[in-house]
A and B are shown apart, each in its own frame.
Chain A
């Protein structure tokens, strides 16, 4: 079985992506609090929703990214064969 090596550069990139997903959720929550005129404390009391949102967004992004990479890989392989 072949070992899979994940470089520190890749880990850093993925962590950054995760933080960006979480930040999008956090900013969206702040915006929603002001838009819907609810209690400002919700910025902190709704953090669990933000965390879930961040995880779901990251997962979706990962699926999209993997799909695109697979398509590119298949196209490249076809060109090389030709």
Chain B
């Protein structure tokens, strides 16, 4: 399988001609002026160049339309690693000082979840465009306030939902929206790992700083770090926000120095009764991660880049005949009808979504779109809203598990988006 690069992808998907790509993924409008922006540069700084931040930095450093102006972090090993990628970047120990730098157009925020709110708000106040890693914030209130701040600031706002730019997912959603697979019957999303998420720390007092994902004060664990990506596939495919969620979470295996769940299961319910299941266990990785879109006529697994039709083409007539003759001569006499046959899983090998393997999971393309948007100062359609609801749903799922009750999406946190209509102001 050959690789597919960004230019080839956009061209092949009909972006330039405003084709089907924009209908499914309107945020690709970020690239509509890409010829006009040649020679221009987006001056970007990164706050929190840790492991994820360094990955983002490595993509930004390769983009000729980006100048990495500065970095801010309080952890020296992260600063040293970031400087290897962007040696000319100015170093700040305090992000507020960085935000005062007038040579910076935009900031990429890749810090622990609980730090996002203040940093994003300060960045908008400082007149910067913002790319915020998912999830947007630690609470629904903060997420909603950030969204309102983005609207009033008139600045660019991206959330790190890279699947929105992943060719496999885009193609999958296009196929769903085209009706190729009939009605959507449900979603099975899961992300299983077999490790404790713990990273080595230089000293015990650094544990909460390095392993912030394991502490309730800094993160909501699986839901905000993993589920956030996957729940978004459901709303993208359904073009609808689920309004009900229930679930259960527990610490079942990794019990040492962990405050967040290592075993979660949530059910999100759309208005028509279609359900999106989300499961994650951190002590078994056999099934890995996937977002299975279950339709009446087929199933799609975008992560595997495959789809499967429900009806498998029949075997050649000659083989059917041999099989029937064999059954007539040697077959057992049925005594309970066909319903007795165990309905084991379908084993068909399916088809690949794309002829070529994408170069990345969408992260580099998403950052290129951000740089384009910063240069043109045009916010791509719906990308902020998709990010908002991905965060909101993951937080709501976490809340449902914490409170052990069924939650309805609160009216005060609804946007005018898809099936949601703003009915009251925030309380």
Contact = CB atoms under 8 A, between A and B. Distances in A.
A49 interface: yes
B317 interface: yes
Interface string A24-46: 00001101110110100010011
A72 to B, nearest CB: 29
Contacts of A21: none
Q: Main SS of the interface on chain A?
A: helix
Interface size class of B (residues with CB under 8 A): under 10
B321 interface: yes
A21 to B, nearest CB: 15
Nearest to B314: A38
B318 interface: yes
Contacts of B314: 36, 38
Contacts of B342: none
Interface size class of A (residues with CB under 8 A): 10 to 19
A35 B318 contact: no
B316 interface: yes
Contacts of A29: 317-318, 321
Interface in A45-68: 45-46, 49-50, 53
Contacts of A31: 321
Contacts of A28: 318, 321
A36 B315 CA distance: 10
Contacts of B321: 28-29, 31-32, 35-36
B148 interface: no
B38 interface: no
A42 B317 CA distance: 8
Nearest to A28: B321
A50 B321 CA distance: 12
Interface in B315-352: 316-321
Nearest to B320: A36
Nearest to A29: B318
A29 to B, nearest CB: 5
A32 B320 CA distance: 8
A55 to B, nearest CB: 14
Interface string B286-324: 000000000000000000000000000010111111000
Interface of B: 314, 316-321
Given A29-B317, A38-B314, 4 more contacts: A36-B320, A42-B318, A46-B317, A49-B318
17 contacts: A28-B318, A28-B321, A29-B317, A29-B318, A29-B321, A32-B317, A33-B317, A36-B314, A36-B317, A38-B314, A38-B320, A42-B316, A42-B317, A46-B317, A46-B318, A49-B316, A53-B318
